[in-house]
Structure 1
């Protein structure tokens, strides 16, 4: 995909704040600090459009990024961050659930999982939830540049032991924002599902 323009459009916590232009949307989900902002910036060829932070739990709203005036990438708040209060976590969960279950414009979900570690309980729960919603799913193993090349196949093997990846609507990729690994393939999946 050729990126002609991209911009931060809006942050929302409830339906009445979502964009109203009926453009298709692809959501990105993952635990706090998994690399959602880095993936967005890498895909869009921008340095700081989506704010990256060394401090997990920074994204606390649904952030909509308009791409080519054609569709949105939607950054969903990270899950599994312990320093956020139980009440706040519940609010995040409800906000994410409302968006994923009711948004007609949603065309697919990219679930980011840190390639250096086994999927967490929260990763597995989000994946199973996406299967239940019957959304097209792209599982992206991030930070793959931090794993030795001869061990990268083990990442995918370990992932398939934890997640049932044998579904028609599921694809899996490794990804590195540092090495720009599989950027083209992520775009191909997005284009297929818009």
Structure 2
């Protein structure tokens, strides 16, 4: 099993950049990918991504083992946490107002994968992902954000930029290339 994980969070305006990022990741990607977009319009995210990306896409289930080269989609209305090398789902009313919570996903990934965590924040409203990105940074992992000027809704990536100093602010297609450079058969390489 890879010692790396890619976690991607978004909200409003996040679907198009998420597809741009995911569609270029190769089938032999040496890391699991977990994606969370909150908002009712994303209830069919698994179906939307299937056929648009090379990697297999699965709706995350409680107790699911993380597999490299597989995208797990966090279901709406529940929180998804990484525990060791599995996913745990559930309703945690005091954890966050967003379900699924990007902060909770990122924090739990950082706790389980440490420096092997690569977090990506895409378009979205408000500040979900900011505290999680800080946890990834403190664990020695890497945070990439969609350039706020490119995002349809800049609040989420701009909040990370304001509070966390991400490793890179990039256009969506450049995020995909950076992920390919960082996570492959040889593992995580920190960006310069």
Q: Structure 2-normalised TM-score?
A: 0.48
Q: Structure 1-normalised TM-score?
A: 0.47
Q: Rg: which structure is higher?
A: 1
